[in-house]
Amino acid sequence: MTPLLDVRDFSVAFGTSQPVKGVSFSASPGEMLAIVGESGSGKSLTALGLIGLLPRHAATAGEIRFEGRNLLDQSERDWRRLRGRDIGMIFQEPMTSLNPVLTVGEQITEVLRIHEGIDRRQARKRAVELLDLVNIPEARRRIDDYPHQLSGGMRQRVMIAIGVACNPKLLIADEATTALDVTIQAQILQLLDNLRRDLNMAVILITHDLGIVAQWADRVMVMYAGRKVEEGLPEPVFSQPYHPYTRGLLGASPRAESGYHYRNGPLLEIPGSIVSAADEKGCAFRPRCPAAQPSCGFAVPPLQQISEGRLAACPFPPTRIASLVHDASFRP
């Protein structure tokens, strides 16, 4: 299947600092790709680059091919036509993303009137349908509510309604369920899963929660210090992680979902923190890695193919990676 989105060696720089470094990945219609990693790994910056919302002083390189055309070559006017219509985004915190002085109905109808060219009455009718679609009760009444009158879960549903208002081909969900309790979280994820299947929509799900990835994602990409360090199907990545960082994330996860039992015993800690983008030498994970070798400090390890559809960035052959990670361990 030809991918809807094909990102090639995408980088983001702010002066001498490069928080995203040569990331490549793809997403096909109807597929849910999860991007995971600690805060500071470059996930959200990558997402903002996909929708053309990086700060003005950000310098980009590489390609973001959407339906065959490179989005980095287009003007801001072209971005405005694309954003909200073909590519939707659900931001991390709806209370700061929604306008507090506009009703939720006004914020949904604005998207419809700009991109669909329909009149106010038609837009309002469609907005009610969207609120029904995202399971907001009494949609005809709640459409005139302001964001502060809604619960956190309902505000997140409004954000989803705005994101899918024009039936986008790609939806980016950046930590869309982080601040919600587990019951509401499950409802939101089920809703996203239903929408992507009904609309044949590609979804990029950015999250810290590996349980969510195991249950909902078709593929998972692990990022560390602005680079992709592992990619594959959730089941093999979780049951046999090749990169030491992936193993550390799984060891620090409080639960194993969907039968992917990787860790027994106490939670494990990844010592230290992500290195500054300007300070990286050799493998960025080397200062925190229990399996690090002297050779890890010489060069940034390239991604190597472990098996079909499975990639990992470690300087050792695949047969040695597993033994090194098994012999060394993170501390509880």
With bands split at pLDDT 50, 70 and 90, how would you rate the model's confidence at 262? very low
Q: Across residues 214-237, what is the average pLDDT?
A: 95
Q: Give the confidence band of 179 by pLDDT, cuts at 50, 70, 90.
A: low
Q: Is pLDDT larger for residue 278 or for residue 107?
A: 107
Q: Which of 98-107, 252-261, 270-279 has the highest mean pLDDT?
A: 98-107
Confidence of residue 61 (pLDDT cuts 50, 70, 90): very high
Its sign, for the CA torsion 83, 220, 227, 268, is: positive
Among residues 195, 149, 192, 147, the alpha carbon closest in space to that of 174 is found at: 192
Mean pLDDT of all residues in 162-189: 85
Is 209-332 CATH 3.40.50.720?
Answer: no
What is the percentage of the chain residues whose pLDDT exceeds 70? 90
The pLDDT of residue 165 is above 70: yes
Percentage of residues of the chain with pLDDT beyond 90: 55
The confidence score (pLDDT) of residue 85 equals 92
**CA torsion sign, 67 to 73 to 78 to 79?**
positive
Residue 1's alpha-carbon distances to 4, 66, 172, 220, in angstroms, are 9, 14, 20, 18
Inform me whether the pLDDT recorded for 280 exceeds 70. Answer: no
Confidence band (pLDDT; 50, 70, 90) for 120? very high
Quick one: pLDDT band at residue 268, thresholds 50, 70, 90? Answer: confident
Residues 6+ apart with CB under 8 A from 265: 332
- Average of per-residue pLDDT across 158-169: 91
Per-residue model confidence (pLDDT) at position 329: 62
Which one has a higher pLDDT value, 105 or 306?
105
Report the sign of the C-alpha dihedral through residues 141, 142, 144, 146, in that order: positive
Task: State the average pLDDT over residues 215-243.
Answer: 93
Question: Which pTM value belongs to this model?
Answer: 0.89
Number of C-beta neighbours around residue 311 at 10 A: 21
Q: What is the pLDDT of residue 278?
A: 56
Of 14-23, 172-181, 214-223, the range with the lowest mean pLDDT is 172-181
Which residues, including other chains, have CB under 8 Å from residue 148's CB and lie 6 or more apart? 95, 100
Dump the DSSP string for 8-52.
Answer: EEEEEEETTEEEEEEEEEEE-TT-EEEEE--TTSSHHHHHHHHTT
Place of tokens 């999250």: 207
pLDDT over 90 (residue 256): no
pLDDT range class, residue 258, cuts 50, 70, 90: very low
